[in-house]
């Protein structure tokens, strides 16, 4: 039994002295030095500042470093699991809409695009988590050296609120960009419609999307301003062709000729790799002022629909001309009237 146990009043005095020297929550080094030196306050405080506090700071830094490494590792795994497409579900969806050999189409999806999205998302989320961990570690280190953290935390909160109000559009853009990457709404090389801006995606960041339109104009669109996205380059596309025939034409013959011509074009060596299904003639689309509109669709690989549409129109024009099926054009009757006050003037002429 120690002398402190025999004399409780000495134990109380020692405890109060320890609290006054090392604080209300004394560190291990400070407490051991205090007991080893018989309560020498000067040596205890020197040891605490030279050994105890640096060890606590080192432990905090090591724990923060380990936490950031673990967080980045598991964030990267989680993001890849989220970003990785459900191949089976996609294959079933493509097969349901009648695309032949959907497995080969899924296989052509660029892996680099998925990897780039996963890397971008994991970098952003990992950097955010890392920043939070190191800020907390910095606050703990300041507390180790006796700084009053109350005003510091209050000031940081006020600064955060001010920054949130002043940069809310920037925060909105970044959050929208993050969700855009997670959901894979579009990527570099896609042809998209973002409202007023339509074109090919050249660059995607958390804050903006850069498009180049057909006339060469480069559009910088903040992600937070995008209300809707029309992607014309995901998995498959539709080549849609409308062609007019005269009212006195044989509609059945015109439809059969349209189908046979489109089948021949799609089976050619040039276009067969981009065609994902047989041409389908939908029939009469409208009864216009000058003719009857027939519509046809063909499923194609993404981005090739426009070139195929031009090729089909050219082939259909030649086929209809050879078959004697008229493709009408607007015709109007124009009356040229002279001054009716002069009875000697000629009658109105029709052109």
Domain coordinates of the chain in residue numbers?
A: 1-166, 183-231, 237-323
pLDDT attached to residue 204 = 80
345 three-class SS: coil
Residue 38 zone, left/alpha/beta (φ > 0; ψ -120 to 50; rest): left
| Interval 303-330 mean pLDDT | 89
pLDDT attached to residue 259 = 93
User: Distances from the Cα of 63 to the Cαs of 57, 58, 69, 136, in angstroms?
Assistant: 10, 9, 10, 11
Q: Is 326 a residue whose pLDDT tops 60?
A: yes
| Interval 34-40 mean pLDDT | 58
Q: Structurally, what CATH architecture does the domain formed by 237-323 represent?
A: 2-Layer Sandwich (3.30)
Select from 219, 221, 206 the least CA-distant residue to 176.
Answer: 206
Please give the CATH number for the structural domain made up of 183-231: 2.30.30.60
Select from 238, 309, 231, 303 the least CA-distant residue to 276.
Answer: 238
CA distance 290 to 129: 65
pLDDT attached to residue 263 = 92
| Interval 171-200 mean pLDDT | 82
* Planar angle of CA 114, 115, 119, nearest 5 degrees: 120
Q: Is 20 a residue whose pLDDT tops 70?
A: no
| Beta carbons within 8 Å of 25's beta carbon, 6+ residues apart | none
| pLDDT band, residue 11 (cuts 50/70/90) | very low
CA distance 183 to 81: 13
Assess contact for 235 and 228: CB atoms under 8 A.
no
Contacts 24+ apart (CB under 8 A), 92-99: 94/235, 94/236, 97/236, 97/299, 98/277, 98/299, 99/236, 99/276, 99/277, 99/299
pLDDT attached to residue 177 = 81
| pLDDT band, residue 37 (cuts 50/70/90) | low
């Amino acid at each position: 039994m120690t002398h402190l146990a025999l004399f409780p009043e000495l134990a109380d005095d020692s405890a109060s002295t320890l609290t006054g020297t090392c604080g209300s929550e004394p560190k291990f080094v400070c407490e051991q030095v205090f007991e080893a030196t018989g309560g020498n306050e000067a040596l205890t405080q020197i040891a605490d500042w030279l050994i105890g506090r640096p060890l606590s700071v080192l432990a905090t830094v090591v724990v923060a470093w380990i936490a950031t490494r673990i967080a980045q590792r598991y964030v990267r795994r989680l993001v890849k699991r989220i970003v990785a497409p459900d191949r089976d579900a996609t294959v079933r969806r493509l097969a349901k809409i009648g695309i032949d050999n959907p497995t080969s189409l899924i296989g052509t999806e660029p892996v680099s695009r998925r990897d780039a999205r996963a890397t971008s998302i994991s970098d952003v989320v990992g950097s955010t988590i890392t920043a939070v961990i190191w800020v907390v570690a910095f606050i703990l280190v300041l507390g180790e050296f006796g700084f009053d953290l109350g005003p510091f935390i209050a000031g940081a909160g006020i600064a955060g609120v001010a920054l949130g109000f002043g940069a809310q559009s920037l925060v909105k853009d970044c959050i929208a960009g993050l969700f855009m990457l997670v959901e894979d709404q579009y990527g570099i090389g896609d042809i998209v419609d973002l409202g007023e801006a339509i074109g090919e995606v050249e660059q995607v960041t958390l804050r903006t999307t850069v498009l180049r339109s057909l006339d060469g104009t480069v559009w910088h669109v903040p992600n937070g301003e995008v209300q809707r996205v029309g992607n014309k380059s995901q998995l498959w596309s539709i080549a849609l062709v409308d062609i007019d025939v005269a009212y006195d034409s044989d509609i059945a013959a015109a439809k059969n000729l349209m189908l046979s011509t489109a089948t021949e074009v799609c089976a050619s060596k040039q276009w067969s790799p981009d065609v994902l299904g047989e041409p389908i003639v939908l029939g009469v689309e409208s009864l216009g002022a000058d003719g009857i509109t027939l519509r046809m669709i063909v499923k194609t690989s993404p981005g090739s629909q426009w070139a195929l549409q031009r090729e089909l129109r050219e082939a259909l024009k030649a086929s209809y001309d050879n078959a004697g099926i008229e493709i009408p054009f607007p015709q109007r009757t124009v009356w040229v009237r002279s001054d009716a006050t002069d009875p000697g003037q000629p009658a109105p002429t029709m052109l």
